Amino acid sequence: MQPLAEPVSRLIDAFAQLPGIGPKTASRLAYFLLRSDESIALNLAKALEELKANTLFCSICFNIADRDPCPVCDDAQRNHALICVVEEPLDVQAIERTGEYAGVYHVLHGAISPVEGVGPDELKIAELLQRIQAGGSAAPPDVDPAHAADWTLLHPSIQEILLATNPNLEGEATAMYISRLVKPLGIRVTRLARGLPMGGDLEYADEVTLGRALTGRSEM
Amino acid sequence: MTFLTHLSLTHFRNYAHLDLDFTHRLTLLQGDNAQGKTNLLEAVYLLATSKPVHAQTEREVVDWQAQEEPIPYCRVAAQVRAGEGERPLELEVIFTPRSDGLNFTKQVKVNGVGKRSMDLIGLLRAVLFLPEDIRLVDGGPGERRRYLDIALCQIDPAYCRSLSEYQKVLAQRNSLLKALREQGVQAASPAVDAQLDFWDEKLVQHGAIALAKRQNFVAELDVLARQRHADLSGGRETLYVEYLPSFNYGPLDEGEYRRWRAGNRLGEDGMSGDAGLAAFTVTPEAVAQRFTRRLGERRRRELAAGATLYGPHRDDLRLLANGRDLRAYGSRGQQRSAALALKLAEVQAMTASTGSAPLLLLDDVMSELDANRRSTLLAALEGVEQAILTTTDWDDFTPEFRAAAQCLHVRAGEVFPASEAAQADGASHGGESPRG
C-alpha cells in the first residue's frame, strides 16, 4: 500500500484527536479539504489560529470571550444585579437561547466532585464572592467622571444569585455550597426549577424527575 | 407468576452457543464436574440480578475462547412468561469489549429496548442456592451485606435506587474526607462543615432509607428463618437473625446497645435474653434523625480516619443459635443449617412481598446435605413455580422426582436430553442427540 503523503496523514491525526471523531470521519474531513477550494481550508486555518490567540476569559464572569469585559458584562441593558451561576461556558449559550434571561452570568468552570479532586478552590467561587462584595461600591477614582453613571449601572449591589448548576449530585453539592456562602450576605438565592421536559410524556418520565415535579407543583 | 421458558447463551463462560427450552416446573441438570452446570445457573442469575455471582469481574463472564475472536462479545438472553394474559418478556444482558481491550461494557435490554441494570432487577426474581452458601455464616460482613442487597433489590426497586444513590454519595464523601485528612484538617470548623454538610445530608437521606428497609427486612427474615431452622434442627435450636448497624437507631439505650453489640445477652427483663434485637421495625425518618446526630458527634473521628465510618456500608448481620454467635462458635453443621434457613426465609419473604415465588436455582446442594435437610429443602420446592437444580449424580433424586422433572445432561458446554436408561444407569452419560 502506498503511504499517505505526510501533510495528509498529519491532518487526519489532528482531526482524530477531536471528541466524537474517529479515524474514518477524520480522513473524510481531510480529503474534503484536499479537494475543495483553497479558501475553505485557509478560512479554517485562520479560524483555528484565532481561536486560541483572540479569546480570553472575561475577568468579571469568566465566560470565554473575545474581549474583556465580555459583551454580556459590558451591556448596560442587562440587569447586573442578577447573576446566574453556571458550570460551563456552554451553559451560558443554553440559557441565552431561551431569550428569557436578562441578567448576567458567572461561570464556575466545573462542579464540586471530591472523587475527581475538584473542591471549591478549583472553581471560580472565591471570584464570585469578590464580585458580590464589590457590587454597589463607588466608582474608583480612575473612572472617567463622564462615564460614572454607566459604571454604577454595570456595578450595582447584587440582588439575586440564580444557581443554574446541573441537577446531578455534583451540581447540587456546588449549589448548596454557594448558597451557604451567599445567603448570610442577605442576598436572595434561587435555584432552577426541576421537573418535566416540554413535549415529554408522563409515562416515560423517570421516578425521580416525576417525584420532583410533583413536590414542586405550581398553582394554575 | 413468572416462568423462564427459554435461555439463550452466546460465548458465556464455557458455552459457545446454547438454546434451551424449559418445559417443566422442575428442571434437573446432571453432569460431571466442570461441564457447565453451574455456569448455566449463573447465566439465569445474571438476568435476575444483573450482577455476576460472587462479584466476578465481567471479563471472567465472557468465554475465554471468544476473547480470541475479533469481536469477543457475550450475550445472555431469556424469555420469561409473565402473568396470565401478559406479554412475554425478553431479557438480555450483552457484554462487548471496550476500546482498551481489557474491560467490557454491559448492556441491558428488555424486549429489545436498552434499559438501566436497575430496571432489569425484579423482572425475573431468583434465589440461588450454592454449596458455598455457608460463607453467609462464616464469611465476612461483605458477603452478608451482598446477600441482603441482592434479595432486597429484587423485592423493592426503591431500595435499589436508594442504595445506588448512597454508593455515589459515599464515594464522594470518602474522597472529601480523605482530601481533608491529607490537608491536615483535624477538627470541624465552619469551612469544613460548609464542604461536608451537603454530603452528610445526602448520605443520611439515602442511607436512612436503605437502613430502614434492611432493618425491617431482617425483622421479617428473623421470624421466617427461625421457623425454617426449627424444621432443620428438629426443634433443638432456636435461630435469631439480627441486623447489626454501625450506630444505634434502635430502642436500646447506649449502655444496653453496647452490651448487645458485644454479643452479651441482655437482662431477663423480656427485652432480649435469648431473643436478639432483630424484631423491631423502624421508619426512615427515625433512622435519619439518629444518623444525622451520629455524623455530627463523630465528625472529628471521621476526619481522623479519612473515611465514612457510619452507615449501611459498615453494617453486618448476626446469626445466633441458642444465644451463640454462629460465625464464631457454630459447628459446620450448625452453620450450614443456618445458611439454608436464611435462604429459605428469603424465598418466603420474596413470595410474601411480591405475591409470587421466585425462581429457585439450586447448584449441587443435595450432596452437601443430610437426609433431614434434604427433605426440608425438597419440601420448599413444592411451593415454588419453577426450580432448576444441578447434580453430579442422578441418584441424589428419587425416580418419582426425576419423572416429574425435565431431565438434562450437561457435557462440555452442551446440553442434551437425558435418556431414562442413562438415569437408571446412575452413570453420567446422557442421550446422544444434541439439543440446540
Quick: pLDDT tens for B229-246. Answer: 998 888 888 999 999 999
Contact criterion met (CB below 8 Å) for B169 and B196: no
pLDDT tens for residues B93-133? 998 877 666 677 889 999 989 888 888 999 999 999 998 89
Q: Which one of B165, B168, B194 has the shortest CB-CB distance to A180? A: B194
Residue A46 lies in domain: 6-54
Q: Which of B118, B108, B53 is nearest to B75 (CA)?
A: B108
Distance of CA A184 to the CA centre of its chain: 26
Output the pLDDT for position B55. Answer: 56
Chain B positions touching A181 (Cβ under 8 A) are 194
- What's the domain count of chain B? 2
Same domain membership, residue A191 and residue A104: yes
Chain B positions touching A207 (Cβ under 8 A) are 161
Q: Which of A120, A122, A119, A128 is nearest to A59 (CA)?
A: A128
What percent of chain A lies above the pLDDT cut of 70? 99
Q: Among residues A54, A71, A88, which one ends one of the domains?
A: A54
| Contact at CB, B179 and A114, closer than 8 angstroms | yes
- What's the domain count of chain A? 2
Same domain membership, residue A49 and residue A62: no
Output the pLDDT for position B271. Answer: 41
Q: Among residues B317, B332, B347, which one ends one of the domains?
A: B332
Entry pTM? 0.83
Same domain membership, residue B319 and residue B176: yes
| Contact at CB, B176 and A114, closer than 8 angstroms | yes
Output the pLDDT for position B82. Answer: 80
Output the pLDDT for position A117. Answer: 93
Same domain membership, residue B240 and residue B201: yes
Q: Is the pLDDT of residue B67 over 70?
A: no
Output the pLDDT for position B428. Answer: 46
Output the pLDDT for position B268. Answer: 41
Mean local confidence (pLDDT), A64-84 = 92
* More confident: A161 or B376: A161
Same domain membership, residue B297 and residue B164: yes
Joined together, the cell numbers standing for residue B118 give 436497575
B107: phi then psi, degrees, rounded to nearest 5: -125, 135
Same domain membership, residue B77 and residue B147: no
Same domain membership, residue B283 and residue B163: yes
Is the residue at B344 inside a domain? no
Same domain membership, residue A181 and residue A118: yes
Same domain membership, residue A110 and residue A84: yes
pLDDT tens for residues B400-435? 899 999 999 999 999 999 876 677 665 444 444 444
Same domain membership, residue A106 and residue A25: no
Contact criterion met (CB below 8 Å) for A85 and A178: yes
Tell whether A184 lies on the interface with B, counting CB pairs under 8 A.
Answer: no
* Mean pLDDT of all residues belonging to chain A: 90
**CATH assignment at residue A42:** 1.10.8.420
Pairs of residues, one from chain A and one from chain B, whose beta carbons lie less than 8 Å apart: 42
Same domain membership, residue B411 and residue B361: yes
Strands A160-163 and B405-411, by their bridges, are unpaired
Output the pLDDT for position B64. Answer: 62
Tell whether A23 lies on the interface with B, counting CB pairs under 8 A.
Answer: no
Q: Which residues of B142-167 are buried (b: 16+ CB within 10 A; e: fewer)?
A: ebbbbbbbbbbbbbbeebbbbbebbe
Q: How far is B158 from chain A (nearest CA, A)?
A: 10
pLDDT tens for residues B321-352? 888 889 988 898 899 999 999 999 999 999 99
Output the pLDDT for position A106. Answer: 97
Same domain membership, residue A207 and residue A107: yes
| Coil/strand/helix, residue A59 | coil
Is the residue at A175 inside a domain? yes
Chain B positions touching A208 (Cβ under 8 A) are 161
Output the pLDDT for position B178. Answer: 95
Same domain membership, residue B143 and residue B113: no
Q: Is the pLDDT of residue B272 over 50?
A: no
Same domain membership, residue A62 and residue A50: no
List, in order, residues 6 or more apart from B128 with CB less than 8 Å away. Answer: B41, B45, B53, B361, B363
Taking each helix axis from N to C end, the angle separating B332-354 and B190-232, rounded to the nearest 10 degrees, works out to 100
Task: Give the span between the Cα atoms of A203 and A210, in whole angstroms.
Answer: 9
Mean local confidence (pLDDT), B243-268 = 79
Q: Which of A15-24, B53-62, B216-225 has the highest mean predicted lDDT (pLDDT)?
A: B216-225
Where are the extended beta strands (E) located within A58-216? 64-65, 79-86, 103-107, 160-163, 188-191
Is the residue at A1 inside a domain? no
**CATH assignment at residue B392:** 3.40.50.300
Chain B positions touching A114 (Cβ under 8 A) are 172-176, 179, 199
**CATH assignment at residue B211:** 1.20.1050.90
Tell whether A180 lies on the interface with B, counting CB pairs under 8 A.
Answer: yes
Q: Is the pLDDT of residue A4 over 90?
A: no
**CATH assignment at residue A163:** 3.40.1360.10
| Coil/strand/helix, residue A52 | helix
Residue B153 lies in domain: 136-332
Same domain membership, residue A44 and residue A148: no
Task: Give the span between the Cα atoms of A21 and A17, in whole angstroms.
Answer: 7
Output the pLDDT for position B54. Answer: 67
Least confident of A7-11, A20-24, B150-154: A20-24
Same domain membership, residue A139 and residue A157: yes
pLDDT tens for residues A87-105? 999 999 999 999 999 999 9
